């Protein structure tokens, strides 16, 4: 028979995302509403191992809904990747009287929760918090909408100088192996092209852009590029260097937006999404759910098993690629 829950622990892990604080607030207050105690675990799994834990009350999360970043801090933990580190984390949970764990984070964070739950039979619930929007089974992740709007605001400003100087700007955005930020910000900002990992195997995206997007009537252009390397191809610097070498007639510049995409107050959508997912995580525990991610699908709350959320690739809608192609002529 499953142990009755009286105290939950909550942590944020991996990269921070706007809206994480709204989720922390929702989890805390929903748990207290249902008569449970809440303990905030600082600095993710690393803080769990080192017993950086405090009792949380409703006052602990006052006004948190408006703040970016995470009030619980976050860190990556090499120790938690080892059996010895996870054993120490479990011992801390037992000493603290924590009966269930709620983890807010991305792919790596939920993978850690899955392993931890399997080894020590503790209920773990995941809440998708990542600007990359790359977790399978949920239409959106906490932080994605805010990051998307931040990118669009920046690109709108870059457009002014691109037009003034007749330049091609390659703007690098986050997303790693997922092109959701690049593709959708390109559409929203009226960019001429998006170079994304999901499309790399199909054709030379730079060649396609040069052929289709740069004409005598359109001397300035914005190209949004997903960061990192996918299939051996680099980010914005790689494509800018190719243009300089292969098409020297064009004036090229690079802007790497970097970590400013993670910052700022969360959008209304992210605040609402985080609040819904936070409350749903407590409802899931009440129902006896364990080892699932709370997601949103067609505006309904869904429970997605960890192994599906982590291992399955979330595919970008190919219609978005066509929309950008049509509108960038």
Active site residues: 132
Residue 11 · residue 48 · CB < 8 Å: yes
Q: How far is CA 157 from CA 133, 217, 235, in A?
A: 24, 21, 21
Q: Contact at 8 Å (CB) between 96 and 72?
A: no
Question: Does residue 20 contact residue 27 with C-beta atoms inside 8 Å?
Answer: no
H/E segment holding residue 45: helix 44-49
Contact (Cβ atoms closer than 8 angstroms) between residue 254 and residue 236? yes
CB 223 within 8 A of CB 205: no
Q: Residue 313 to residues 109, 111, 266: CA-CA distances in angstroms?
A: 16, 14, 26
Identify whether the C-beta of residue 169 lies closer than 8 Å to the C-beta of residue 224: no
Q: What is the phi-psi region of residue 182: left when phi exceeds 0, alpha when psi lies from -120 to 50, beta otherwise?
A: alpha
């Amino acid at each position: 028979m499953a142990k009755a829950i009286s105290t939950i622990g909550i942590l944020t892990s991996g990269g921070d995302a706007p809206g994480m604080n709204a989720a922390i607030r929702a989890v805390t207050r929903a748990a207290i509403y249902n008569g449970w105690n809440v303990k905030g675990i600082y600095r993710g799994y690393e803080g769990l191992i080192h017993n950086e834990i405090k009792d949380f009350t409703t006052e602990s999360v006052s006004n948190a809904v408006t703040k970016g970043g995470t009030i619980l801090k976050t860190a990556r933990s090499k120790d938690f990747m080892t059996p010895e580190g996870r054993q120490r984390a479990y011992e801390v949970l037992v000493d603290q009287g924590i009966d269930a764990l709620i983890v807010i984070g991305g792919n790596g964070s939920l993978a850690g929760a899955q392993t931890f739950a399997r080894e020590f039979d503790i209920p773990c619930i995941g809440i998708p918090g990542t600007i990359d929007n790359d977790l399978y089974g949920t239409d959106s992740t906490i932080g994605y909408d805010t990051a998307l709007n931040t990118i669009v605001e920046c690109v709108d400003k870059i457009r002014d100088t691109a037009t003034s100087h007749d330049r091609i700007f390659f703007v690098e955005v986050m997303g790693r192996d997922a092109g959701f930020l690049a593709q959708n910000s390109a559409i929203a900002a009226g960019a001429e092209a998006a170079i994304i990992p999901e499309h790399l195997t199909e054709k030379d995206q730079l060649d396609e852009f040069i052929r289709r997007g740069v004409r005598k009537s359109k001397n300035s252009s914005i190209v949004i590029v997903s960061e990192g390397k996918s299939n051996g191809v680099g980010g914005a610097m790689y494509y800018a260097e190719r243009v300089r070498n292969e098409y020297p007639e064009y004036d090229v510049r690079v802007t790497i937006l970097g970590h400013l995409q993670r910052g700022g107050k969360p959008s209304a959508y992210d605040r609402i999404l985080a609040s819904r997912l936070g409350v749903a995580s407590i409802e899931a525990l009440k129902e006896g759910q364990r080892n699932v991610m709370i997601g949103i699908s067609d505006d309904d709350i869904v429970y997605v098993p960890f192994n599906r959320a982590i291992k399955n690739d979330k595919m970008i809608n190919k219609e978005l690629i066509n929309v950008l192609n049509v509108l960038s002529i």
